[in-house]
Structure 1
Amino acid sequence: MNAYGPPGAIPEPSVPPGAPLPASPDEAVARWRGLLAEAAPRHVLLEGFHALKHALRFGAVVPVALCTDRAGTLELAAELAPDLGEVLARLLVEVDAQAVSALVPRPHPTGVAALAERPAPAAVAAALRGERRTPVVVLDQPRHLGNAGAVVRLAAGFGASGVVTTGPLDPWHPTVVRGGAGLHFATAVAPLEVSELPGGPLFALDPEGADIRGLALPDDALLAFGSERHGLSAGLRARADQLVALPMRPQVSSYNLATSVGMALFHWASASGAAPA
């Protein structure tokens, strides 16, 4: 799917109406600073070649992309992403490493950085609330930004319809986007209250639940996971249709959040015809 729409070809690099792609280092840096200075910022930082690659493959609108070695980056694209060679050749602007360091808090070793527009709220809502053929992952009151990013990456790989979070953590925080490697554009990502969760049977992971190995998870399921320290909130537990437990050796207290999500999605995928081949 492309930016929460139907599958399709790689889109052309897209910029705001009337604004051509920057043609020089100075224009690119000015575009970057201007986008981040908007009163209501709607662009997210993509750090590194792989994040830019993933975002473009899934329909991200990228108005500016920088690199410190354009020829080397295009060689990398020819090796790892030949489908994006022409798009990247038009999009990338080479700037010196000092300029990138001034714009990006922690420059990536590949020397690539880009800004991408966050998907429109209507597209996110449609992906979450429309007819779904794959589950939505619900992170209930998560605390760790890196874990949330790893979950987005997992969900994208399994073709999940979305990842939603309850509580104060912003799933579009730069650290979460970094952990997701640009794959926020491959699955609908949004913060929601428990009362706002999309429809579908909700299976909440809990040590006291039924063994997941004896259950069939429907394609439109919500799969909910509690916080790393405190588990499920009372509100989410009350909303759950069934508590589900992962197999675990006695005296082992818990799995990492991303590990738990991966196990549950694999269990769903192993029995579903809607899972990626």
Structure 2
Amino acid sequence: MNDPVSAPAHRPAVDAVSGPRARPVGDPVRAWRRLVDTAVLLDGFHTLKHAVRFGAEVPVAVTVDRAAALALADDLAPDVRDRLADLLHEVPEETYRTLVARPHPTAVAALAVRPSRAAHLATLARTPRTTPIVVLDNPRNLGNAGAVIRLAAGFGATGVVTTGTLDPWHPTVVRGGAGLHFATAVERLGVADLPPGPLFALDPEGDDIRGLKLPDDAVLAFGSERSGLSTELRSRADHLLSLPMRPQVSSYNLATSVAMTLYHWSAGSF
């Protein structure tokens, strides 16, 4: 997937001690406390990097060590290095620890504006599609949901939809997805409101996936880690599919199942 945002051609002014200076935006701590209840928490350097790379609006970003964060950017994200230099404000470690519940090893955190739900729903409903939509039916594990969003973004999926009570924009999910929520459409919907397209649901009793080519407009549904597909979603499925698995092995991890299915789709799309 090509990055939609390129780095600006200029470099900001340089401070002899700390490197490029951040653009003054007032008190970052005060801004954080004003926005935190409605914004998306970007926890860690890589989460912020991906969010910025894919066009997130980031009103405030902080770090304990700005020079170290920009050195990471030089090594790992030169395409967004200048934008990070504009955004990052250094704060004392004690202050940083009051802003985030689980301090990240990179000591970087930011707040982003959540993308428009209406825009995401329009993206999910649009046909024809050239890439599938992933549906997590009543998922339970926040980290697993984040890993699936990261996978879906990597494969260029149109979006990820969750059903049930789990919030796909929960901070732990965003952290698990490494900020790649901003690279695809992520929303929570009821089963009755799933996007259009042929619905393929993964189930141990379904047909072997190796015997079928998945269409580009497929809606790929995966059951919860504990109880599998809900009765409501199973009744709506156009096809039940199973992944190859050795006898007596109980199941695959949710993210592994999604990865195998998306790979099967991608291998058949050429």
Output the TM-score relative to the length of structure 2: 0.91
CA contact (8 A) 2:7 2:82 kept: no
Measured against aligned partners, the alpha-carbon deviations of 1:124-167 in whole angstroms (never above 9, x if no partner) come to 11221113210000001111111111101111111111110111
Secondary structure of the equivalent of 1:170? coil
**Unpaired runs of 5+ in structure 1?**
13-20
Partner of 2:104: 108
* Closer/same/farther in 2, CA of residues 11 and 238 from structure 1, 3 Å limit: farther
The offset of 1:237, in angstroms, is: 0.5
Q: Which amino acid aligns with 1:147?
A: N
Measured against aligned partners, the alpha-carbon deviations of 1:208-262 in whole angstroms (never above 9, x if no partner) come to 1110001000001000000111111111001100000000000111100000000
Q: Which amino acid aligns with 2:214?
A: L
Matches of 2:124 and 2:131, distance apart in 1:
10
Q: Which amino acid aligns with 1:33?
A: R
RMSD between aligned residues = 1.7
Partner of 2:57: 61
Matches of 1:74 and 1:174, distance apart in 2:
23
1:248 paired to 2:248: no
Pairing of 1:1-277 with structure 2 (within 5 A):
8-10=4-6, 23=24, 27-37=27-37, 41=38, 43-131=39-127, 132-273=129-270
Secondary structure of the equivalent of 1:148? helix
Identity, in percent, stands at 66
Output the TM-score relative to the length of structure 1: 0.89
After the TM superposition, which segments of 4 or more aligned residues of structure 1 sit over 2 Å from their partners? 7-12, 21-24
Matches of 1:11 and 1:105, distance apart in 2:
31
**Unpaired runs of 5+ in structure 2?**
9-21
The offset of 1:189, in angstroms, is: 0.5
The offset of 1:22, in angstroms, is: 6.9
CA contact (8 A) 1:135 1:219 kept: yes
